[in-house]
Structure 1
Amino acid sequence: MSTLIIAAAQAISIAGDLAANIARHKRFMTVAAAQGVELLVFPELSLTGYEGAVAASLAIHPQDPVLQPLRDLARELNVTTVVGMPVRLPEKPVVLIGALILGADGSLGVYTKQHLHSGEEVIYAEGQGGPTLDVAGKTVALAVCADFSYASHAAAAAEQGADIYAAGVLISEKGYAPDTALLQGYARQHSMVVLMANHGGSTGGWVSAGRSAIWSADGSLIVAAPGAGDVLVVARQEGGTWQGQVIAVTEAQ
């Protein structure tokens, strides 16, 4: 019987502290692997926090050696992992909001945020999106926060045959109800599983609502975190049945 296990890493990012955030990402990846997770998605700019003041100084080329420990761990644990990082590409030396795909096979993919939130244009440039992923035979399309506020973005994912629409986000309490209504609607409209990985705490002056969630392809909620904090939000599919679980992630793990 076929199985699929995916998870949102609702992590608290330490402002501008790449080393500390890499260590925290490793902890989440290890906990996810113990649960058999095949796809793990972190929030927008998870490796630096949503910290515009330092984004330009922290932006890296995706192939930068600083990411090698995470790439090695993704391969070792066999967990395709999507992490958030400000990036610069050789052909476009502006700062972009990146979602880097650390493949379970050792590969590296790059998705760059296409639609900026108001005010982000002062720091970042619009990106070009990126390719779909193949995880356990499923097609995964990525989004970064404001991308999903455009119905055309989710529609394009569906046109590409996406089984899973996975978004790394920063959503406050005020925006939570309308934003999750959109995501749930995309699940139902396009028959896609929708995963939303939100920040676990305050970042860049924003207070995240947490409550990361995963919806099934009929729009029903599989699982959601109860609030903020460092938690792993896991959805397991066996046959046609989904089950959800929320697991606290602590420094002792």
Structure 2
Amino acid sequence: MTALTLAAAQTISIPGDLAGNIARHQRFMQVAAEQGVQLLVFPELSLTGYERGRAAQLAIAPDAAVLQPLRDVAREVGVTAIVGMPIRLSDTSPVLIGALILGADGSLGVYSKQHLHPGEEEAFAPGTGGAPLNVGNDTIALAVCADFTHADHAANAALNGAGVYAAGVLITAKGYNPDTALLKGYAADLSMLVLMANHGGATGGWESAGRSAMWAPDGSLIAAAVGTGSQMVIARRDCAGWAGKVLAVEVE
């Protein structure tokens, strides 16, 4: 079994401030690199916050030049980052909830949220998902929030060979227990590591619960953030199995 280090970035988004959020993401990526992280997953719509009412205004193309500094850092520090952004695939395309894959090798991938939460259809169109990504010998399937509430989404990931199911989310305190019960269940039932990266503070009128977490393929909790705030949840696999830790991350 090869070594693998993953992390969930529990960030606090500045509402609608792409430049400010890029700087915060770069800080998290630098900390991740210092910890030997290979894949770093951010929350849903992390680069803008969950600003549903401004989604059309904030949406950009995945390869927009404004994101190049973030892609440059991913390549420079050797960390593949999954970042959340409202996107348009063309000038005339609808707005999608995107998870952009900024490769440590300089590559760019796109995952778009397939299953919308009630009310999101006012601002977004359903996406088409995306191909899994490979980190070393491991296959990672992505999800964005409500995607994971559909059991077939996780089941299909496992059928397609994923050993890791990584979700960027916005989960409130009310939804935290039932949602994490689902995620823990997928880990145990489908023998996948499950990663959940939640917002670290209020966003878009919602009070996030924080408490980002990861579960091992037997369903046991590897590590979880305590409450809200800027934190990083890290899980490492070696010949002895999975071990985790949580770091507080200072941002300007």
TM-score category, normalised to shorter length: over 0.9
1:127 to partner: Cα distance:
0.2
Q: What number of residue pairs does the alignment pair up?
A: 252
Cα distance in 2 for residues equivalent to 1:110 and 1:91: 16
Unaligned runs of 5+ residues in structure 2 are: none
Q: Which residue of 1 aligns with 2:172?
A: 172
Unaligned runs of 5+ residues in structure 1 are: none
Cα distance in 2 for residues equivalent to 1:60 and 1:171: 24
Q: Secondary structure at the match of 2:147?
A: helix
Cα distance in 2 for residues equivalent to 1:234 and 1:224: 9
Amino acid across the alignment from 2:112: T
Q: Secondary structure at the match of 1:93?
A: coil
Q: Which residue of 1 aligns with 2:113?
A: 113
Q: How do 1:84-233 residues align onto structure 2 when only pairs under 5 Å count?
A: 84-90=84-90, 93-233=93-233
Q: Secondary structure at the match of 2:170?
A: coil
Q: How do 1:29-48 residues align onto structure 2 when only pairs under 5 Å count?
A: 29-48=29-48
Cα distance in 2 for residues equivalent to 1:192 and 1:185: 10
1:136 to partner: Cα distance:
2.0
Amino acid across the alignment from 1:135: V
Q: Secondary structure at the match of 2:55?
A: helix
Q: Is this contact kept in 1: 2:2–2:137, CA < 8 A?
A: no
Structure 1 runs of 4+ aligned residues shifted over 3 Å read: none
Deviations 1:27-69 (A, max 9, x none): 0000000000000000000000001111110100001001101
Amino acid across the alignment from 1:54: R
Amino acid across the alignment from 2:178: P
Q: Which residue of 2 aligns with 1:51?
A: 51
The two structures have a TM-score, normalised by structure 1, of: 0.98
Q: Secondary structure at the match of 2:56?
A: helix
Of 9-18 and 82-91, more deviation after overlay is shown by: 82-91
Amino acid across the alignment from 2:60: I
Change (3 A) 1:91 1:66: closer
Cα distance in 1 for residues equivalent to 2:191 and 2:139: 13
Q: Which residue of 1 aligns with 2:81?
A: 81
Cα distance in 1 for residues equivalent to 2:3 and 2:110: 27
Counting aligned pairs with the same residue, the percent is: 67
Change (3 A) 1:66 1:91: closer
Q: Is this contact kept in 2: 1:38–1:136, CA < 8 A?
A: no
The two structures have a TM-score, normalised by structure 2, of: 0.98
Cα distance in 2 for residues equivalent to 1:133 and 1:92: 28
Q: Is this contact kept in 2: 1:13–1:49, CA < 8 A?
A: yes
Q: Is 1:72 the counterpart of 2:58 in the alignment? A: no
Deviations 1:155-185 (A, max 9, x none): 1101110010000000000000000000000
1:251 to partner: Cα distance:
2.5
